[in-house]
Amino acid sequence: MSVTQDGNAVSWLLDRHVAEGRGARAAFLDPHRSLTYAALAEASARFAGALSAAGIGRERRMLMLMLDTVDFPVAFLGAMRAGVVPVPVNTLLTPEQVAYMLADSRAEVLCVSAPCFAALRDVVAAAPDLRLVLVAGLDGAPQTGLPAGARDFAGFVAAGPAAPRPVPASPDEVAFWLYSSGSTGAPKGAKHVHGSLRATAETYASDVLGIRAGDLVYSAAKLFFAYGLGNALTFPMSVGATAVLLPDRPTPDAVIGVMRDRQPTIFCGVPTLYAAMLASPALGRGAGSERLRLCISAGEALPEHVGLRWEEVVGAAILDGIGSTEMLHIFLSNRPDLLRYGTSGVAVPGYELRIVDEHEREVAPGEIGELLVRGPSAAEGYWNQREKSRRTFLGEWTRTGDKYVREADGFYRYQGRADDMFKVSGIWVSPFEVEAALMTHPAVQEAAVVGREDADGLVKPMAFLVLKPGVAADTALLEAMKETVKARAGAWKYPRWVEVVEELPKTATGKIQRFRLRAALG
Ligand code: 3UK
């Protein structure tokens, strides 16, 4: 019997283009550098060789805390080429969160962008399984600046003995992980297989985006996010197209600047960004790009008025679609030919959907239930979390945790999360986590956090606080609360509203009833 071993995603995504004569095409452009397909194949092969030479074996994990530059695809694809499992994580995580992921994944390698490294020195020193730290983006700065044990990413790649061929792998073999947040705030490593990257390209990217070789893609959503990874790496690479990368924070002005300079054909954003761009006086036709043909939105629901207004001002549609870390990319989406703002659209060809009640029985049309999805890109499971895996991955079907209604005309309308989690700027916020940060403030006795819609219909955290006896609630104190959350939980998670209350609504067993707080907001 022979083992199926032609499924390494790097062969299909990258080496195929070089072998078929497309090596000179541009694969990635960042503000300072660009990489052709041939140069990316070469650099990722050297990185693969260097990892193996450093004794990093197959299936070992490499945590990536990297900004969006051309170094990201070199590291991600280079690791997979060697059979090492890259685990890209959010560059805005706090050191404590990074420490958790290093320990949970037992990462032996950490690839980190220079600006993110300073805050991590202690965490890196304490990580139990870490053997190799690579710092990217030093731009030739003297190596003496690096702490003991850390090496310059560029030098590591340049010195690598090239390992030109991807290690033989089954398409069913774990290729990379992505962390997904849970309602208790403890992130879970979702294990994705090589075949899933191709599956998302051949369904959503091909059928919905109609992606082609001439496309230039710009995703404001970063590569560490499953949404950005598909948009700016898997999809353009699946057809030999080009992606623009921006390491900086995607402010409306920065994004419009990239649109003008690079003239992309496809733009990918999250609802908060679309709303912020609409508020900018700099926004005009094509958002600055004369070649813009399509925009997509995901991460949270796109408010109807944002989509309608964008089409009016920019002259291109925004296709809202829902995806998840567990399903890798979008499985339910609007399409250029089937577009209804305010809904998530219809099933992406290749995926099937069911809306079920709490007994997993299909609900009647027009009734609310939980959305289940079946499709080729589901994760294999969560790392070391058997109970949670069994609850989410039900054989061929995956639980989304989202409430949906299928309307009479077949469009799916989002109804909110099944639990209390909510998203801000497309990134998960667990009330638990923000509350825990607030509770570290000496004036706070109890805290409860819920998502609340702002004037644009976008969800932001709101905090309800019970203060310690004798503490007076003044403006300075409430501002200090926001700073506490920014420092401890992450900058985007701070409560935009803080209300002081006498007591919080609770169940008999003392659990905070956040749904009551939400209901009181109307
Ligand atoms: C919510 C949406 C309404 C929904 C993601 C595109 O967001 C992604 O993955 P995450 O694991 O979060 C998944 C959850 O986010 N959500 C996402 N998109 C929408 N809600 N309308 C939407 N369009 O609660 C879902 O369960 O961070 C998005 C591609 C890949 C992704 N991983």
Q: Which atom of ligand 1 is found nearest the CA of 180?
A: 11
For 194, 315, 374, 389, 391, the CA distances from 386, given in Å and listed in that order, are: 22, 47, 20, 5, 9
Q: Looking at the domain assignment, is residue 184 inside a domain? A: no
The answer as to whether 1 is a domain residue is no
Task: Kindly indicate whether the ipTM for this predicted assembly is greater than 0.95, answering yes or no.
Answer: yes
Number of structural domains in the chain: 3
Q: Using a 6 Å cutoff on CB, does residue 227 contact ligand 1? A: yes
Distance CA 319, CA 340 (A): 9
CA 300 to ligand 1 center in whole angstroms:
6
* 264 and 162 in a common domain: no
| Structural domain span for residue 239 | 190-417
Q: Tell whether 257 and 296 lie within a shared domain.
A: yes
Element (H, E) at 500: strand 497-500
CA of 208 to the centre of ligand 1 (A): 17
Give pLDDT, residue 80.
98
Residue 381 phi, psi dihedral angles, 5° rounding: 150, 180
User: Do residues 489 and 511 share a domain?
Assistant: yes
pLDDT per residue rounded down to tens, the chain (522 residues): 666 678 999 999 999 999 999 999 999 999 999 999 999 999 999 999 999 999 999 999 999 999 999 999 999 999 999 999 999 999 988 899 999 999 999 999 999 999 999 899 999 999 989 999 999 998 766 566 677 779 999 999 999 998 889 999 999 999 999 999 754 557 899 999 999 999 999 999 999 999 999 999 999 999 999 999 999 999 999 999 999 999 999 999 999 999 999 999 999 999 889 988 998 999 999 999 999 999 999 998 888 989 999 999 999 999 999 999 999 999 999 999 999 999 999 999 999 999 998 888 999 988 888 999 999 999 999 999 999 999 999 999 999 998 899 999 999 998 777 777 788 888 778 787 788 889 889 898 889 999 999 999 899 999 999 998 889 888 999 999 999 999 988 888 999 999 999 999 876 556 678 888 988 887
Is ligand 1 within 6 A of the CB of residue 299?
yes
Tell whether 197 and 83 lie within a shared domain: no
Please check whether residues 356 and 407 belong to one and the same domain: yes
pTM of the predicted model, to two decimals?
A: 0.87
Query: Contact, 407 vs 413, CB < 8 A?
Result: yes
Does residue 509 share a domain with residue 461? yes
The reply to whether ligand 1 has any atom less than 6 angstroms from the CB of 276 is no
Residue 498 lies in a domain: yes
The Å distance, Cα 159 to ligand 1 centre, comes to 40
Place of tokens 């059928």: 207
422, part of any domain:
no
388 lines ligand 1 (CB under 6 A): no
Check residue 144 and give its pLDDT.
62
What separation in Å is there between the alpha carbon of 287 and the centre of ligand 1?
Answer: 24
Q: Find the 378 Cα to ligand 1 centroid distance in Å.
A: 14
Q: Residue 320 maps to which CATH number?
A: 3.40.50.12780
CA 139 to centroid of ligand 1, rounded, Å:
35
Cα distance between residue 189 and residue 202, in whole Å = 25
On whether both 497 and 443 belong to a single domain, the answer is: yes
- Where does a domain end: 105, 134, 169? 169
Q: Which atom of ligand 1 is nearest to the CA of 414?
A: 3
In 3-state terms, what secondary structure has residue 173?
coil
Q: Find the helix or strand (DSSP H, E) in which 157 lies.
A: helix 153-158
Residue 208 Cβ < 6 Å to ligand 1: no
